[in-house]
């Protein structure tokens, strides 16, 4: 579940930084009160923030999870993982992903990258130690399916649209607070009330937008399960999800919040905010599709 929460967290941080910069340098005043100008500005910065986050996702995942890339396999396990991922990528018709391993006691994996021909698939040491070879192959197939489905770009586009609405509503809130503090007297709309309202709006509306993004992520997760079943076999995919259920009780099982959306296993979040459907629902969906 590492992939999306990294993306969402980075995106929100970029949005807040953009908001502070535009306020400090007076760009908000230059935008003026024109709805058309505001929408153009919001769309521009909304999609810029989203795609900066997308472009940074691979390098940030490697650093934050301390992923050790397999460039020259040093043992049979590394060679098998690299060969398996590359074979699945060729079958799916995508570029060969970078492959890596990260230290984590619980079973987990994730895929990320800004497009399907420049991606990363990484697995935890715990996953390699607790799953059978067939189950690991299914997990890898699930991650390759995420890449094939273009989930990173899809979520980037969705987040760009959401960012646009966040910017618009944040500035409306800022203007309302600024007018209230001025006693509804005209004054350019760039006072402290606007600055504070804008920042608060970015945080509050950004959180609401993340709930919408999480819903879309859950739907993409079902698709990745189906893709993993096609590449590695339905029963192996079901077996891998059941193994994840057994290993999900560990407190170490959750990936960092900003990375979770593109992983194999979800974190301990409420159902509405989770980027992954419950494992029981995913298993039931695969059984029903069989």
pTM: 0.78
Per residue of the chain (290 residues), what is the pLDDT tens digit? 455 555 556 556 666 666 666 666 566 555 555 677 777 777 877 788 778 888 888 998 999 999 999 999 999 999 999 999 999 999 999 999 999 999 999 899 999 988 899 999 999 999 999 999 999 999 999 999 999 999 988 888 888 888 888 888 888 888 888 888 877 655 555 678 888 888 888 889 988 988 998 999 999 999 999 999 999 999 999 999 999 988 765 444 455 554 555 566 655 456 777 888 999 999 999 999 86
**Cα 48 from chain centroid (whole Å):** 16
* Of 137, 143, 221, 257, catalytic: 143
Q: State the Cα angle at 28 between 258 and 203, rounded to 5°.
A: 25
Q: Is 219 exposed, middle or buried (0-12, 13-18, 19+ CB in 10 A)?
A: exposed
Is residue 135 annotated as a catalytic residue, yes or no? no
Give the Cβ contact number of residue 259 at 10 Å: 29
**Rounded (to 5) percent helix, strand, coil in the chain:** 70, 10, 20
Give the Cβ contact number of residue 38 at 10 Å: 17
């Amino acid at each position: 579940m590492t992939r999306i929460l990294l993306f969402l967290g980075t995106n929100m941080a970029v949005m807040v930084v953009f908001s502070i910069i535009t306020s400090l340098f007076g760009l908000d005043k230059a935008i003026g009160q024109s709805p058309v100008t505001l929408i153009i500005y919001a769309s521009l910065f909304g999609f810029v923030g989203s795609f900066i986050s997308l472009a940074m996702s691979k390098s940030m995942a490697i650093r934050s999870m301390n992923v050790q890339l397999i460039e020259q396999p040093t043992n049979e396990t590394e060679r098998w993982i690299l060969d398996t991922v590359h074979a699945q990528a060729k079958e799916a018709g995508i570029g060969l992903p970078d492959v890596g391993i990260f230290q984590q006691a619980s079973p987990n994996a994730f895929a990320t990258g800004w497009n399907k021909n420049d991606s990363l698939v990484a697995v935890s040491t715990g996953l390699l130690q607790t799953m059978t070879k067939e189950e690991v192959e299914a997990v890898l197939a699930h991650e390759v399916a995420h890449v094939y489905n273009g989930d990173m770009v899809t979520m980037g586009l969705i987040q760009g649209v959401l960012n646009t609405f966040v910017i618009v509503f944040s500035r409306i809130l800022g203007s309302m607070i600024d007018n209230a503090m001025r006693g509804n007297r005209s004054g350019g709309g760039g006072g402290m009330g606007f600055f504070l309202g804008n920042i608060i709006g970015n945080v509050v509306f950004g959180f609401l937008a993340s709930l919408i993004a999480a819903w879309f992520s859950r739907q993409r997760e079902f698709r990745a399960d189906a893709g993993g079943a096609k590449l590695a076999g339905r029963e192996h995919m079901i077996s891998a999800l059941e193994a994840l259920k057994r290993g999900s009780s560990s407190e170490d099982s959750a990936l960092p919040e900003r990375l979770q959306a593109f992983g194999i296993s979800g974190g301990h979040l409420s159902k509405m905010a989770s980027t992954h459907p419950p494992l029981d629902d995913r298993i039931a969906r695969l059984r029903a599709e069989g």
